[in-house]
């Protein structure tokens, strides 16, 4: 699969859809991904970032790129900040979230829960392909 991804980047370079430096960055990003045949053992290294990479080549004005790297420490800080919200406010927030279709109870959110979530995120690797775009979500 990795060789296919590299081939696609090189083809986009050959077709003039990517500049050489853009192709180099994409190939470097592909090289940082874990090989499928050698998964990282549990607990070997803790992921530090949640990465979202998207390339849309369907437009006439050239490829559109999105590369977001969210520190997982931000999730940890968010949980600690949530513990400072007064209980009355949490009830109102939970009701508003529920009305919006997000059934999350913030009163039940604990730091140990977020650590378990982050541990599981280390095994997340999502690829979405279609003819005009590519989206990847992974932890690094």
Q: Indicate the domain borders of the chain.
A: 1-32, 33-139
What is this structure's pTM? 0.47
Instruction: Tokens for 6, please give them.
Output: 């590299």
> What pLDDT shows up at residue 65?
85
Structure letter (DSSP) for residue 40? P
d(CA 49, CA 58): 28
Q: What is the pLDDT of residues 32-74, one digit of tens each?
A: 654 444 444 555 577 788 888 888 877 777 778 888 888 888 8
Q: What residues pair up with 51 in beta bridges, in sequence order?
A: 69, 138
Q: How would residue 9 be classed by pLDDT, with cut points 50, 70 and 90?
A: confident
Residue 95 has pLDDT above 50, yes or no: yes
Q: Is 16 left (phi over 0), alpha (psi -120 to 50) or beta?
A: left
Residue 91 has pLDDT above 80, yes or no: yes
- Give the Cα separation of 50 and 52 in Å (integer): 7
Residues comprising the chain, all counted:
140
């Amino acid at each position: 699969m990795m060789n296919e991804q590299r081939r696609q980047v090189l083809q986009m370079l050959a077709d003039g859809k990517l500049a050489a430096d853009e192709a180099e960055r994409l190939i470097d990003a592909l090289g940082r991904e874990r090989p499928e045949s050698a998964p990282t053992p549990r607990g070997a290294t803790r992921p530090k970032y949640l990465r979202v990479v998207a390339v849309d080549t369907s437009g006439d004005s050239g490829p559109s790129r999105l590369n977001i790297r969210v520190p997982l420490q931000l999730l940890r800080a968010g949980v600690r900040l949530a513990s400072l919200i007064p209980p009355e406010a949490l009830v109102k927030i939970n009701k508003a979230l529920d009305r919006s279709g997000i059934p999350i109870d913030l009163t039940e959110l604990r730091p140990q829960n977020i650590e378990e979530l982050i541990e599981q995120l280390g095994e997340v690797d999502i690829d979405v392909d279609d003819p005009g775009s590519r989206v990847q979500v992974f932890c690094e």
